[in-house]
Amino acid sequence: MESSQGPVSKPPPIPPRIPHRPDLPQEEREQLAAEWLERCHQAATPERIAELAPYTPEFPKESVYARLADELVRNRVSPSNTKLKRLFMKKGRLHQKQAKRRKRRRAESPVFEPTEEQASDVAHWVNEYRERNGEGPTWSEVQAHFEWTSLQTSSVIRTLKADHWLDFGLERRSLRAGECLFHGNRR
């Protein structure tokens, strides 16, 4: 078939799909394995290079699988797909267990609304601490002094700030007594 501009050509063929695991020459795989060992702070011995050459990384160095493969290499384990998947699932289960544990602790930790007397006690203690040390206490020091959990401490300090018993900024040790201590209760 011809057109006014010459013969009509067929569209170019669709390029074949690039395989996920390209076949690299053995020398290149060995070079990648040596770099991998170096990145993982391991000795690049000929035995280790030969062991890792079939598993040279095909994923970005910042990916989760790359970090897991690096962990396996540091532990002197060949990072096969099966071992990578197993480690990935193990880490996922560990993360879930930790999240459940944190959630359970939050549920078990009684959060309370401080009374006016407690609010006054906390504000007085913070004010005395600031006068004595020239800076405010950390939240963990408040926690230790009043024997609260970290969740209770955070809740109480934020409640007392909202009620103007305490004040704090973004700076370290900025916790200080609020207006209520000096000007009476505004609740």
The structural domains of the chain, with segments of one domain joined by +, span 26-106, 116-183
CA 169/CA 187 separation, integer angstroms: 21
pLDDT tens, position by position, 128-170: 999 999 999 999 999 999 998 888 898 899 999 999 999 998 8
Choose between 153 and 93: higher pLDDT. 153
Look up residue 115 and give its DSSP letter: P
For 116-183, CATH gives 1.10.10.10
The pLDDT value given to residue 138: 94
CA 144/CA 152 separation, integer angstroms: 11
Output the average pLDDT for the chain. Answer: 81
Burial code of 44-62, b = ≥16 C-beta within 10 A, e = fewer? eeeebbebbbebbbeeeee
Q: Which amino acid is at 176?
A: R
Which ranges constitute the DSSP H helices of 53-149? 64-74, 81-108, 116-133, 139-146
